Amino acid sequence: MNDIENIYSKLWQLYGPQGWWPAPDYHPGDYNFPGTENQKFEICVGAILTQNTSWKNVEKAILNLKKYDLLAPEMLLTIEHKHLAQVIKSAGYFNQKARKLAVFSEYFLFLNGKSANRQELLQLWGVGPETADSILLYAFSQPTFVVDSYTKRLLTHLGLIKGAERYDHIKALFESCLPKDVILYQEYHALIVAHAKLHYSKKPYALNCLINKNWNTKRTD
């Protein structure tokens, strides 16, 4: 078992299945989600809104979009910028994110039911590597690994990377060590977030990180 598989095994033992994506109307463990275009779009919107923002603030914005029947690409392209910005205010960066949602909505309509493409996503204003991979993995069920700041922080503390590596390098590290499996990738990223929220959000990091503590010692249980 390689290091990346070893970390996954420990995270799974500690936290069990996470069942992402955590959409407001999503029942954890339902791996058939998203089953509809609306649900896919909702995940994409969430992926954009959660950029450098807590999910709690994003959830308020999504519920607000639903409240006014705006959670559809046609609606987000019709609505006035200032109005949209106000509706998603709780998610922060509302001017930028309103624009990002409009740009993405156009792309989503262009797809017309087809699956999204990583190169195309990265060309959209407002979609960087993490957002693109989140959209591909959780909305379109493509086996692409999501790397976020928590992931970098965890691997850095475990000594697997120095910390300055590029996004695609870290993504490739995970994908080269794991079988190409959508649910595995979905659960792994979710587990990292769950673990990092507990042990890698406030400094000093990793005080009670069991993975870190047991990293160089062998377990018999």
Distance CA 63, CA 145 (A): 28
Nearer to DNA, 5 or 60 (CB): 60
Nearer to DNA, 10 or 195 (CB): 195
The angle, 0 to 180 degrees and rounded to 10, between the axes of the packed helices 182-199 and 149-158 is: 70
Residues with Cβ within 8 Å of 192's Cβ and at least 6 positions away in sequence, in order, are: 11, 148, 150, 151, 154
Least distance (Å) between residue 78 CB and DNA? 20
Nearer to DNA, 2 or 120 (CB): 120
Nearer to DNA, 10 or 153 (CB): 153
Instruction: Name the amino acid, one letter, at 6.
Output: N
Least distance (Å) between residue 126 CB and DNA? 5
CA dist 200 to 16, 122, 127, 155, Å?
A: 19, 28, 25, 11
CA dist 176 to 5, 169, 180, 187, 204, Å?
A: 11, 10, 9, 17, 31
The answer for 175, left when phi > 0, alpha when psi is -120 to 50, beta otherwise, is: alpha
Least distance (Å) between residue 161 CB and DNA? 14
- The site for DNA (CB under 7 A) is made up of 20-22, 46-47, 50-57, 60, 89-90, 92-97, 124-132, 134, 138, 148-150, 166, 193, 197, 200-203
Nearer to DNA, 2 or 145 (CB): 145
Distance CA 175, CA 13 (A): 21
Instruction: Name the amino acid, one letter, at 115.
Output: S
Least distance (Å) between residue 220 CB and DNA? 33
Rounded to the nearest 10 degrees, how much is the dihedral formed by the CA atoms of 205, 210, 212, 217?
160
Least distance (Å) between residue 62 CB and DNA? 11
Nearer to DNA, 12 or 167 (CB): 167
Nearer to DNA, 20 or 174 (CB): 20
Least distance (Å) between residue 86 CB and DNA? 10
Cβ-based burial of 3 (10 A; exposed 0-12, middle 13-18, buried ≥19): middle
